[in-house]
Each structure stands twice: as C-alpha cells, then as structure tokens.
Amino acid sequence: MLKFKGSLKISGDKSISHRALILSAMSTGKARITNLLESEDVMSTLSILKELGIKIIKDGNNWIVFGNGTGGFIEPKKPLDCGNSGTTARLMIGAVSSNPINCTFVGDNSLSKRSMSRVTKHLEDIGAIVHLTKKDYLPLIISGSEKLLPIKHNILKASAQIKSALIIAALNIHGKTKIIENIATRDHTERLLKFLNVKFKIKKTNKKTSQIELNGPYEFKAKNIDIAGDPSSASFFIVGALILPKSKITLKDVMLNPSRTAFIKVLKSMGGKIKLKKTKQICGEDVGNITAEYSKLKGINIPANQSAYLIDEYPILSIAASQAKGKTIMKGLDELRHKESDRIQSILFNLKKVGIEVYEENSNLHIFGKKIKLNKNVKIKSFGDHRIAMSFSILNMLYDNKLKIDNKKCINISYPDFTKHLNYLL
Ligand code: S3P
C-alpha cells in the first residue's frame, strides 16, 4: 500500500500571487516578487497586466513588476483573456473600472458560465458602464472612469473576490468608499495593502459584519513581496497523509492565515493528527510548518457558517469524509455551484462512481464513509476542474491507481507541480 512520507515546500499561494501582481502594478516603483505561483490562472493575470501597459519581467526565479500608479492602466489593444480564472476576471474588472479606458474581458467556456454581475452591478452603481453577455457573463465590455463615485457598498454574498474587486477599484476613486461585508471572507487584499503601507480602516460592526473604509485616490510605493506556500494546495497532501496508512509528512512555509486554514480545524475534529508550527511572518501573513500523519477519521457535521473559509477545500474534505467512520454532513454549499465546475455535482458524480453513498439536499452534502476495495478500474470525470482532479488523484493513492481521471492537465490551472510533489512524497 502506498504511503506519504518526508517533507516538502509546496508552491506559492494562488490568491496572493494574483494580488501581488495587481497591487504591484498599481504601486509606484519596482517590486520583486519571490515564489510567485506560475500557474495558468496567475499567468492570465500577468498577461492582462502587460496588455494594460505594465512592464513585468522574469529575473531568474523572481518576477519584477514596474508599477504605474493606481490610475496607470492604458487602454488594451486586444481583449483581455482571463482563461479559466475567476479571480483574474473579478479582480481585474475592478482594477480597470476606475481608469478612463475601455476593456473587453473574455474567458474560457467554464469561466463564461460564471457570474460577473456579482461584481459589475456594484461598479455600475458608481458609474462604470458595463455590457455583459446575457446580463451576467463574459465576454463583457467595461468603460471605466476616473470619476467613479465613492459610496457605501453592501456585499450580501460571501465572496472575497467581490470584496477585493471593490477595494482595488476604490484605490483610484476620489473620496470615501465604504464596503460592508456581511459574512467574513479571506482577507489577503487587506493584509497585502497594510504591508504596502496603504492607510484604510476596518471596523467590526458586529460579530459577523465588518466595514472597510478607503479614502482614495492612493499613491503607494512598491515593495518586494515574498509569497508563502498555498494552504489550499497543502490540503491535498494533508488529507493524503491522513488517509494513507503509515503516512507522516511535513509541509514547510505554508501560509497560516485563519481565513484559509479552517479546513485544518475541520480535519482535526474528524480525528486528524495535524500539528501547526508558526515560524515567521512574511508580507503580513503568518507562515509555518504543518505535520500530518495517518489517522482514524470519523464523520462530523460541518456547519454552513464555515463555508466562506472552506470554499476551495470541500472537494478534498469530501475525500476525507469518504474514508471516515460514519456520516459527514457539509452544510451551506450553494456557492460551490459557481466554481470551476458545479462542485456539488462533481463530488456526487465521482464519489458515487467509486461506490460511496452520498446525496445532496438543499445544497447540503451527506457522505457516508466506507472502506471500499476496488476490483476494477473506475472512470473519474474532472469536469475540467483542477480541485476535483487533484482530490481524486489523492484518493487514487488509496485505490492503487485504479481511478482513471480524465483531463488531468487542468491541474496546471492552480498547481503545475502537483504531480511532481505527489511523487516526491511517495
Ligand atoms: C478567491 C476567493 C474565492 C475562492 C477562489 C479564490 C480569492 O472565491 O474560491 O479560489 O482569491 O479571492 P469567491 O470569493 O468567489 O468565493
């Protein structure tokens, strides 16, 4: 039986890689970015910034971004291609909106089925002109302005992308923009802005809601940015170590931001033997090492109020649940329908194929863990979704490679070194 062992430094964080490029482009001066994740999604952001007139060069293993200021984008000569990347589309639509330029945004088939009005309706409220396909989708054309209005936005959906798009737009808006977040989401944009010495306020209005207040336009100096390891990428190997008997691994220099590591708490309450050791802070984020070893897991209830902090980890958590004793219920997964695939359907379809009893009711997922011995090969559909392909690649270690996963190249969207790293741990 295969097991995971040894230690590994996983690749740079995807969310921070996008933000490091965008905020450096909007700063003044030269930023050296270390450990940028060179995945397809991040490269989409990088090439769009180049189309918008930002000089970005590779220097050895680092990237150097020459900032043009908060109002420094020039009108692109061709459509801005976001590929498969929701983060690129949402954040870059926000970024260009407060510049007086016209931009067309396009994306691949999957991205062209994901909602963009969740961001653009807020931008239209403040004066941007937007034409969307079927009122919600890419391709879209946006005419930005340097005279967008500073107002109070109330974000009802739990989405770090919507919040970040509005924060980034506000960096070049004259006056006070207020952004109310009703459900807390990942806070990398805020942390990176603080690191870049951008002054803004965050007020906790009650236990759940908070208000971010920016007073633009801003001018801020470029700083070198070092990007820590991606906890969402680490989650695959952590679950791998928990479910493969005799495994023990250490993942080094992983970002430990609590808005990203909630899955570790969940796995610990399932009985997972996981230890975190904070070692340093880089660019406003806590960083440390994570040790995980084989554990006897038990099913649990995962409440809906956790979903914003677990949003990318449900596919791999469903793999852990499939190997746990008893039933796991994951509640409040509505937003999973709007990811790179309808992840509720993708998880259901593939776990059923393996022989796990699973059903969905009102966007709650019920998974009955069971030890199964596969006697023949099983076809798994990735649905072109990188996190589905990686999650079932981990389960495949337990099933002696009997799972035949289609279109594994979609893994390059977020973790090009995944297969190399997986083999390294074997
Ligand atoms: C991200 C936010 C999340 C997450 C995505 C990255 C970000 O999306 O699923 O992978 O970098 O802000 P939503 O904010 O739409 O939930």
For ligand 1, what atom is nearest to the CA of residue 339? 9
pLDDT value at position 412? 98
Residue 26: how many CB atoms within 10 A of its CB? 28
**Ligand 1 pocket mutation, candidates 23, 39, 87, criterion most atoms within 8 A of CB:** 87
CA distances from 171 to 80, 191, 296, 413 (A): 21, 15, 49, 28
Distance 35 CA to ligand 1 centre (A): 20
| Residue 74 scores a pLDDT above 90 | yes
pLDDT (tens digit per residue) in 238-268: 999 999 999 999 999 999 999 999 999 999 9
Identify the weakest region by mean pLDDT among 173-182, 206-215, 272-281, 399-408. 206-215
What are the extents of the domains in the chain? 14-216, 228-425
Domain 14-216, what architecture? Alpha-beta prism (3.65)
Q: Cα of 382 to ligand 1 centre, how many Å?
A: 19
Catalytic residue among 286, 312, 342, 417: 312
Pocket of ligand 1 (CB under 6 A): 15, 87, 159-161, 164, 185-186, 311-312, 335
Residue 312 annotated as catalytic: yes
Whether the Cβ atoms of residue 89 and residue 105 lie closer than 8 Å to each other? yes
| Band (306; pLDDT cuts 50, 70, 90) | very high
Query: What confidence tens digit (pLDDT) does each residue in 399-424 have?
Result: 999 999 999 999 999 999 999 999 99
Question: What rounded mean pLDDT belongs to the chain?
Answer: 97
pLDDT > 90? residue 60: yes
Q: If we measure between CA atoms, which residue out of 248, 250, 255, 206 comes closest to residue 232?
A: 255
**Average pLDDT estimate for 110-135:** 98
pLDDT score recorded for residue 205: 84
Pick the CATH number of 228-425 from 3.65.10.10, 3.40.1390.10, 3.40.50.300, 3.20.20.105: 3.65.10.10
Residue pLDDT, tens place only, 37-47: 999 999 999 99
Q: Atom 11 (ligand 1): residue with closest C-alpha?
A: 15
| 59, pLDDT greater than 90 | yes
Q: How many CA atoms lie within 13 A of 382 on its CB side?
A: 21
Cα 362 to averaged position of ligand 1 atoms, centre (Å)? 22
What is the pLDDT confidence band of residue 207, given thresholds at 50, 70 and 90?
Answer: confident
